[in-house]
Structure 1
Amino acid sequence: MIRVLIADDQRVIREGLGMVLGLMAGVEVVGAAADGTEAVTLALAVRPDVVLMDLRMPRCDGVEATRRLRAEAPEVKVVVLTTYSDDRSVLDALRAGARGYLTKDAGGEQIHEALRQVLDDHAVIDPAVQRHLIDAIAGEPAQRPEFPDGLTPREAEVLSLMAGGLSNGEIAGRLTVSEATVKSHVNHLFAKIGARDRAQAVAYAYRHGLGG
């Protein structure tokens, strides 16, 4: 059983994650915190296996909370789960002691796999932020990509793979998520770009430099 503590300042995120994690086999949610200070206090009290840590929180942010946990409870693993994928956020979190870094585009299966991986002492970095990490380490500050029509990095990635001829099932295998998660991304990106079918989406991808 993987015992998980959720730390996020948004109640809807805490409750949503709690519901998703509660449906996962072998996962138990042992607490939820609204800021970094509360996350550290709860983690020291209940000793979870993993803390899913947001970065931007009041009183004490996720980076500082991760740093404190590494000092006071090094056996507790931290996986960052945030909307931020810029190079500074990634580096600060990893330097503070985080063992994983996921964006909130991550699906349930990806989060579940990340929990298992960090307990096996593996680092887990979302593919959406790996480029930022490489650029930062190389000393070349990365610019967060801006995608048209409000597409998220994951939606743009799905669109690019779609333009490359991959089916939903093949995209799911490539991204290590469920086919249902891919379908959800496809529906969202169709709505954002005004596409009625895959052919229109592929044409849009090539017009905007997202072709596979």
Structure 2
Amino acid sequence: MTANAKPIRVLIVEDDPMMQLGLEQSLSSATGITVVGQAEDGYTAVEEALKLKPDVVVMDIGLPRQDGIAATQQIKEAMPSVHIVMLTSHTTENEVIGALSSGADAYCVKGTSVDRLLTAIEAAQEGASYLDPQIARQVMEHLKPAVAVEPNIVGQLSQRELEVLKLMVEGRSNPEIATALYLSPNTVKTHVRGIMNKLAVDDRVQAAVVALRAGLV
């Protein structure tokens, strides 16, 4: 984040007290993050999101009273601008695809590093997508199955676009891509738009699916 950027306001939804405490401490000590609240179940998560209007919700799936997938759907329906980062030990195909289909912007598996979680939060806040490598191939197989990969689709991309695409698949945000490739943020945005147009997809997750199916990673 830039020095003048507003802190990302985060709501933590986690029913394990120790995990909740660890997340609160880790995120509160990170530069550019402000923890605005916590919830222990899905119903309270929706109530707190409506009340606090966070930028990002870090959401578990296995919650009492109402699970995180249902809570995510309700939050996104009420406040589409709120970004949801799933942080969970649940990695079955139904749960992964259910979470993403409900509107989640990022998916991390518990046990991931704090740096990776922060990357997911910042990517979601920026409007990008982040997929934990452990579940990326599940997304490839099951998300947007109608997305077809033409044999020559990779050949439509320039070398620079391929470099940007590979970093998109890794869940890198636009600023991170800009830093890695020594490009300006505006240039990266132009490349991302060009990639999505050439691949005939609507968002970065679909672009990642096409990249995976095309064997780029």
Choose which of 78, 85, 90 in structure 2 pairs with 1:84. Answer: 90
- TM normalised by structure 2 equals 0.62
Q: Is contact 2:12-2:38 (8 Å) kept?
A: yes
Corresponding residue number in structure 2 for 1:62 = 68
Tell me, which stretches of 5 or more residues in structure 1 are unaligned? 140-173, 177-212
Identity of aligned residues (%): 34
TM-score, scaled to structure 1: 0.64
- For residue 65 of structure 2, what is the amino acid of its counterpart? R
Displacement, 1:58?
0.9
Aligned pairs, how many? 142
List structure 1 segments (4+ residues) > 6 angstroms apart after TM superposition.
none
Partners of 2:134 and 2:75 lie apart in 1 by: 26
The 3-state SS of whatever aligns with 1:85 is coil
Instruction: Name 2:27's counterpart in structure 1.
Output: 21
Any conservation in 1 of the 2:12–2:39 contact (CA below 8 Å)?
Answer: yes
Distance in 2 of aligned mates of 1:108 and 1:101: 14
2:115 matched to which residue of 1?
109
Paired residue for 2:134, among 128, 136, 150?
128
Which secondary structure state, in structure 2, belongs to the residue aligned with residue 6 of structure 1? Answer: strand
The amino acid of 2:93's aligned partner reads: D
| Secondary structure of residue in 1 paired with 2:121 | helix
Q: What is the Cα-based RMSD across aligned positions, in Å? A: 1.8
| Runs of at least 5 residues in structure 2 that lack an aligned partner in the other structure | 1-6, 146-169, 173-217
Match of 1:73 in 2: 79
Q: What is the match of residue 36 of structure 2?
A: 30
Match of 1:170 in 2: none
- Is the Cα–Cα contact under 8 Å of residues 13 and 57 in structure 2 kept in the other structure? yes
Cα distance 1:127–1:36, how it changes in 2: closer, same or farther (>3 A)? same
State the AA in 2 paired with 1:27. I
